[in-house]
Amino acid sequence: MPEPVYFDHAATTPVREEVFAAMQPFFGPRFGNPSSMHRWGREARTALDEARERLGRCLGASPDEIVFTSCGTEADNMALIGVWRARRGEGSRNAAVSTPIEHKAVLGALHEIAKEGGEERLLMVDSAGRVDASSFDALVRDDTAVCSVMWVNNELGTLQDVQTMAERARSRGVVFHTDAVQAFGKVDIDARRTPFDLLSISGHKIGAPKGIGALFIRRGTPMEPLLFGGSQDRGRRPGTENVAMAVGLARAAELAVAERDEECRRLQALRDRLESTILARVPDAVIHGREAARAPHISNISVPGTESESMLIALDLRGVACSAGSACQSGSITPSHVLEAIGVSTDVAKAAIRFSLGALSTEAGVDRVAEVFPMLAEKARRLATA
């Protein structure tokens, strides 16, 4: 069998050599606790401070506006729940607003807020996953504590107009969060230009290890901590800091920003090649979200009459790793909440396959997928109708 190809970078990415090298000393001689007064501690503190500063620079933020978290999920939870709890005493600002196509890290936080007495509201999105502007105006208002809209959707790649939404939220006194887990390294993000108050990123999507993320918290944003204990991170996130991972995240972020423009051009060319070849071979294939402006690394494709679970297995047997655009629970496929929210029929949603490109993607790999996928899809359709 030819070398397997990895088309699942939106799920996770390989750790970059430069990132691993930057982290290594902190698993060896530089093992100190940044809270310790002695030389080991001071050395760790310096490394942590530097990581915060370097990551801040990648976002147009000051070091004190960066909180390292254990993952993107924690950053999303902290943003929504932390702000909502901090604002709950503020007059009638009780609502938390988001979209139906968010990652579960945001939707789960929203449900938690509802359990604590908050009002949960979801904005309308169109058939490509773009937030409807009039729905935004109707739901994000002076009774809203916090609003969260993801910058790039993890299933579709759809980009949102974060600039406009952040400006409108600010003019209404609403704290605005954006989940930039799939956007970082693909979109030019600058906290000095775009008035978001909070922004989440995750290391393992950009070449750092799993288990590290960060939340940008603009100075002055009301925020209650989710953890209680020591005074690390000025009490915003107690617990001994993960110095090695923070250093790794900062290095990965710097590399992603430095390479962004060129890598985006490369990935977009690869994605376009993948989509046009598949469409030429399977003219009735549906590419979800294609009408919208999209980040270049995600392509979500359904071939009507197939099922993603069996397609994934068949693709894997042929050495192609990708993921379903639907959630697979105990053998039965439930259509993805994202595809459902943009109005894709259940049958078509159950056929969705997400290809996501990144560091390991090459033209040869794309050509393999563009050959194998249509062939397997046709075979699956023949079997289904036999």
Query: Pattern of binders to ligand PLP over 350-369, x per CB under 6 A?
Result: --------------------
150 in contact with ligand PLP (CB under 6 A) = yes
71 in contact with ligand PLP (CB under 6 A) = yes
221 in contact with ligand PLP (CB under 6 A) = no
What lies within 8 Å, CB to CB, of 21 at 6+ separation is: none
Neighbour count for residue 139 (Cβ, 10 Å): 18
Query: If you write DSSP's letter for every residue of 40-51 in order, what string do you get?
Result: HHHHHHHHHHHH
77 in contact with ligand PLP (CB under 6 A) = no
79 in contact with ligand PLP (CB under 6 A) = no
Residue ranges in the chain assigned as alpha helix (H): 17-23, 39-59, 72-77, 83-87, 104-115, 133-139, 162-171, 243-281, 308-317, 337-341, 346-349, 363-385
Residue 43 C-beta: closest distance to ligand PLP, Å:
28
Size of the site for ligand PLP (CB under 6 A): 14
Interface segment toward ligand PLP; rule CB under 6 A; list 72-80, 86-94, 230-238, 308-316:
72-80
72 in contact with ligand PLP (CB under 6 A) = yes
Using the minimum distance from each CB to ligand PLP, give the nearer residue, 30 or 260.
260
Residue 155 C-beta: closest distance to ligand PLP, Å:
9
- The CA-based angle 307-310-314, given to 5 degrees, is 130
Using the minimum distance from each CB to ligand PLP, give the nearer residue, 32 or 358.
358
Rounded distance between C-alpha atoms, residue 354 and residue 336, angstroms: 11
Contacts to ligand PLP from residues 160-189, by CB under 6 A: 179, 181-182
* Closest residue to ligand PLP in the complex (CB): 72
Contacts to ligand PLP from residues 294-313, by CB under 6 A: none
Alpha-carbon dihedral 96, 326, 158, 343, rounded to 10 degrees: -80
Which of 16, 23, 73, 149 touches ligand PLP (CB under 6 A)? Answer: 73
326 in contact with ligand PLP (CB under 6 A) = no
322 is catalytic: no
103 in contact with ligand PLP (CB under 6 A) = yes
**Nearest alpha carbon to residue 160 among 206, 194, 191, 207:** 194
Using the minimum distance from each CB to ligand PLP, give the nearer residue, 52 or 103.
103
**Nearest alpha carbon to residue 209 among 260, 251, 265, 268:** 251
Name the CA radius of gyration of the chain, rounded.
22
Using the minimum distance from each CB to ligand PLP, give the nearer residue, 104 or 382.
104
Rounded distance between C-alpha atoms, residue 296 and residue 150, angstroms: 16
**Nearest alpha carbon to residue 249 among 84, 52, 98:** 52
Rounded distance between C-alpha atoms, residue 88 and residue 182, angstroms: 30
**Residues interacting with ligand PLP, by CB under 6 A?**
71-73, 76, 103, 105, 150, 154, 179, 181-182, 202, 204, 213
Annotated catalytic residues are 328
